Amino acid sequence: MMKQSAGTVYIVGAGPGDPELITVKAMRRIQSADVILYDRLATTELLDYASKKVELIYCGKAPNAHAIPQDQINQLLVKYASQGKNVVRLKGGDPFVFGRGGEETLELAKHGIPYEVIPGITSAIGAAAAANIPLTHREHASSFACVTGTRCHGDKAPVRWDLLAHSVDTLAIYMGVSQLGSIREELLKHGKAASTPVALIERGTTSKQRTFTGTLEHIHHLAASVQLSNPALIIIGEVVKVREQLLMAEQQAEQQAEQMIG
């Protein structure tokens, strides 16, 4: 009896929230999937494009509440692919930017399972663009870093805020809402100016997006006053000023148009 050929696992980035930001290649893999294991931050609108016969498995990870532990997700990917099925692992943003795509591909490689990684627009790029904040700008920033905000204290490999405070022009911080006070404290302690502009982008690129700007000194108070919640991206750097410049330019253009009409 011939051994059944393994299917292929596609580790797919769904983008930052707006379903229209999915890539053509990712959409094709969704449409042809036998099984889709999808995350909390992968918009469920994309599942409408899947086959009616597809098996859907929710693998969402909210803070301190994982629907399925990561090791079990890895096992499911191997299991379904070993049955000859084409499997899509659908993740918000990009699979290799804080998406545990590296862990999953290592597990698949260990079992000899064919796989393909399909990149998605990561939240730093998507949410920043939706909020009219360029991560780099010739007058303000020549570098940016994507940082996780969940390793402020007690981790074996803590975030090096002492280095990030001065070595990078723009910081795009993921998963940092609950640690915003600590992030502020660490950056100020290591010499980041209290007047540094900061933006908070909640549910970036979606119809529920909210954007707030302030300074590093007071940003934790602003977040509390607006009841900022996950998912949210924190951008720290002079590039945040560009958003205000764009808003001002738009307002001036509207006023000029109204005067011409009047």
List residues with catalytic annotation: 39, 61, 175
Q: Residue 133 has which token pair?
A: 């904040």
Task: Tell me the Cα Rg of the chain.
Answer: 21
Do residues 95 and 120 touch, judged by C-beta distance below 8 A?
yes
Q: Which helix (H) or strand (E) element contains residue 10?
A: strand 9-13
Q: Pick the closest to residue 193 from 184, 205, 180 (CA basis).
A: 184
Cα-based angle 90, 132, 237 (whole degrees, multiple of 5): 95
SS3 call for 147? strand
Q: Where are the alpha helices (DSSP H) in 111-171?
A: 123-130, 161-167
How far is residue 245's CA from residue 140's CA, in Å, rounded to a whole number? 13
Tell me, what DSSP letter sits at residue 4? Answer: P
**How large is the angle between the packed helices 101-110 and 70-82, nearest 10 degrees?**
40
Which amino acid belongs to residue 257? A
Q: Residue 140 has which token pair?
A: 């303000």
SS3 call for 110? helix
